């Protein structure tokens, strides 16, 4: 037996156990578990621990799977929007220039770490701080079920553009030029039909998971072989499969694996250096600059004609520093452009920005709702395509969330009550599929306070059925309906018993536990089928006797 591997495994198990403990405590006080993972890393480093081999591999694989799943859900049309590429370019240039000038002022004032730094290192630090965290934003959007919303798509698009800029920088700074074989990766494009055919034939179980791992890791290895960043290969393979009906299922199947491996990433950040009074001071100072990044994002989004709410929620998503900033700083340290203490400073600032951004994102809808009139002052004068009055078609029944459960509810209600039923969903592609199938579905986000203001004549609305993917979204929507004085009935789906109690306490008239009630519905249907069989057999016996 290889006892070295046993020692590594035992050490990493201890770290992962501590990550669970700190993650659990973090969630208990209303922060995402990832904040606890970061804290666990810092505590371990203070005790003299260093990152183990298994932990580093988990971290690398987590980032690879993260970019692969982003690619699966990426809509290339989003990247072509000026709200994405133009805002990203302007924001990056403005932040790098302003932060560099500010840091030069810090150097003149004699602040620690800045003293004696030349303009080029200051530009590098400013560039590292211009990014927002892909890991954090994706985690927040997934937990809130907002990956398909407009603000979610815009945020992911900005992050993708930032990641591409970082990849170009890494390639240029390392002096690693892609080989001529790099043009061969273009051959993956004609292979897309074959890859999709394999996806269709993998079924719904472990083969799909293995296929996803093969594509993500294989894409990363392929790009590394031709002199390109491996993570970009995972992203490219994900994009290659995007827009297929089964890619959403594949992304969902990888969710648990990705989250597990990303624990290693957050722990490794905390283990990256030992905080000192100087590094803590500068990190706290950098934290004060995060609101300036956010303000610039908000102003740019509103100038590019996004609604105030969309601009605000997208800005909140991007209110943080990025793990790519650490990677850029690591390149600077390895090349001797900046001191190693900057890696610790940026790691601490990154962690603090997560702590700052977590409660802001958790209360994003409430923040907008309470200051709705204030935020709308920044909105562009031109009427936006997603800000017109929504015609409710005189509906008496509205289904919020047109996923599989919502679609089934819509079809059954329409059979019973005809065209008085209308659906609502925030996913544009899903909306188009439903309309092509003849369903009446509106584009809208029920958690958007403006949605209820923009909803047209609704005096005849009697029943609202919610099948939104997150209990937090259902709870917020119930509160919005109560605030609007909705006199009708509210039905909502839940997944767990504790959610049922929360939803009833919030004011839901009926709560349907989709897991518990599925068996009841199945038994009822089978009972009806058996009754029909008995009637058919009795009729046959009667004819036989005759």
Neighbouring residues of 482: CB distance < 8 A, sequence distance ≥ 6: 507
Asked whether the beta carbons of 244 and 202 are under 8 A apart, the reply is no
Asked whether the beta carbons of 326 and 343 are under 8 A apart, the reply is yes
| pLDDT value, residue 59 | 76
Is pTM beyond 0.75 here? no
Structure tokens at 488: 């009708």
Asked whether the beta carbons of 215 and 222 are under 8 A apart, the reply is no
| pLDDT value, residue 177 | 66
Three-state SS string over 242-290 comes to: CCCCCHHHHHHHCHHHHHHHHHHHHHHHHCCCCCCHHHHHHHHHHHCCH
> Options 3.40.50.2020, 3.40.50.720, 3.40.50.300, 1.10.260.40; which CATH number does 397-529 get?
3.40.50.720
State how far the Cα of 539 lies from the Cα of 534, in Å rounded to an integer: 8
Kind of pairing between the strands at 397-400 and 463-466: parallel
Q: Which residues in the chain come in under a pLDDT of 70?
A: 1-13, 30, 32, 49-54, 167, 170-171, 174-177, 272-273, 383-393, 449, 452-459, 515-546
State how far the Cα of 540 lies from the Cα of 94, in Å rounded to an integer: 82
Structure tokens at 442: 């509106």
| pLDDT value, residue 532 | 53
Q: Which of 198, 203, 233 is closest to 218 using CA atoms?
A: 233
Neighbouring residues of 9: CB distance < 8 A, sequence distance ≥ 6: 54
Q: Which of 134, 152, 143 is closest to 63 using CA atoms?
A: 134
* CATH architecture of the domain formed by 17-376: Up-down Bundle (1.20)
Element containing residue 68 per DSSP (H, E): helix 53-73
- C-alpha triplet 297, 301, 302: angle, nearest 5°: 120
Structure tokens at 415: 């059979």
| pLDDT value, residue 395 | 79
What residues are paired with 513 via a beta bridge?
494
Q: Where are the domains positioned within the chain?
A: 17-376, 397-529
Element containing residue 145 per DSSP (H, E): none
What residues are paired with 421 via a beta bridge?
397
Interval 178-218: pLDDT, tens: 777 778 888 888 988 998 898 888 887 788 888 988 999 99
Question: Strand runs (DSSP E) across 360-519, as ranges?
Answer: 397-400, 421-425, 441-443, 463-466, 489-494, 510-513
Asked whether the beta carbons of 264 and 56 are under 8 A apart, the reply is yes
| pLDDT value, residue 391 | 62
What residues are paired with 441 via a beta bridge?
423
State how far the Cα of 461 lies from the Cα of 479, in Å rounded to an integer: 17
| pLDDT value, residue 105 | 93
| pLDDT value, residue 101 | 94
């Amino acid at each position: 037996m290889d006892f070295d591997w046993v020692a590594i495994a035992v050490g990493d198990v201890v770290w992962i156990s501590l990550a669970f403990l700190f993650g659990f405590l973090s969630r208990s006080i209303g922060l995402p578990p990832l904040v606890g993972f970061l804290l666990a890393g810092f505590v371990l480093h203070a005790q003299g621990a260093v990152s183990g081999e298994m932990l580093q591999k988990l971290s690398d694989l987590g980032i690879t799977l993260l970019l692969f799943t982003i690619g699966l859900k990426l809509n290339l049309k989003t990247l072509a929007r000026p709200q994405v590429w133009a805002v990203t370019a302007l924001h990056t240039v403005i932040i790098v220039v302003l932060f560099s000038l500010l840091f030069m002022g810090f150097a003149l004032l004699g602040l620690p770490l800045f003293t004696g730094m030349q303009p080029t290192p200051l530009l590098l630090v400013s560039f590292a701080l211009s990014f927002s965290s892909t890991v954090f934003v994706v985690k927040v959007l997934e937990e809130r079920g907002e990956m398909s919303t407009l603000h979610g798509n815009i945020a992911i698009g900005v992050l993708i553009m930032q990641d591409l800029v970082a990849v170009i920088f890494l390639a240029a700074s390392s002096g690693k030029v892609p080989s001529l074989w790099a043009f061969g990766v273009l051959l993956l494009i004609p292979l897309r039909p074959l890859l999709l055919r394999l996806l269709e034939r993998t079924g719904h179980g472990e083969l799909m998971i293995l296929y996803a791992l093969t594509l993500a890791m294989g894409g990363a290895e392929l790009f590394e072989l031709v002199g390109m960043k491996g993570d970009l290969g995972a992203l490219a393979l994900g994009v290659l499969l995007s827009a297929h009906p089964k890619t959403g299922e594949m992304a969902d199947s990888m969710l648990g694996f990705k989250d597990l491996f990303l624990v290693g990433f957050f722990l490794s950040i905390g283990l990256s250096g030992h905080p000192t009074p100087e590094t803590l001071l500068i990190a706290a100072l950098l934290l004060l600059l995060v609101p300036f990044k956010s303000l610039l994002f908000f102003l740019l989004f509103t100038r590019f004609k996004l609604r105030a709410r969309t601009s605000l929620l997208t800005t909140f998503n991007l209110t943080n520093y990025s793990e790519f900033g650490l990677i850029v700083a690591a390149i600077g340290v390895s090349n001797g452009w900046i001191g190693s203490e900057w890696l610790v400073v940026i790691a601490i600032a990154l962690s603090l920005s997560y702590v700052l951004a977590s409660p802001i994102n958790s209360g994003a809808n409430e923040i907008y709702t309470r200051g709705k009139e204030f935020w709308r002052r920044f909105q562009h004068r031109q009427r936006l395509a997603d800000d017109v009055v929504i015609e409710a078609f005189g509906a008496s029944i509205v289904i919020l969330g047109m996923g599989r459960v919502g679609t089934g509810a819509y079809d059954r209600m329409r059979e019973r009550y005809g065209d008085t039923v209308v659906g609502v969903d925030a996913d544009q592609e899903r909306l188009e599929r439903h309309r092509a199938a003849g369903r009446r579905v509106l584009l809208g986000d029920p958690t958007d306070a403006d949605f209820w203001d923009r909803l047209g004549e609704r005096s005849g609305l009697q029943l609202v059925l919610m099948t939104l993917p997150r209990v937090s979204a259902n709870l917020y929507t119930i509160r919005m309906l109560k605030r609007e004085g909705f006199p009708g009935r509210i039905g909502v789906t839940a997944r767990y018993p504790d959610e049922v109690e929360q939803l009833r306490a919030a004011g839901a008239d009926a709560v349907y536990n989709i897991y518990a009630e599925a068996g009841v519905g199945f038994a009822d249907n089978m009972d009806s089928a058996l009754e029909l069989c008995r009637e058919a057999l009795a009729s046959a016996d009667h004819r036989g006797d005759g």
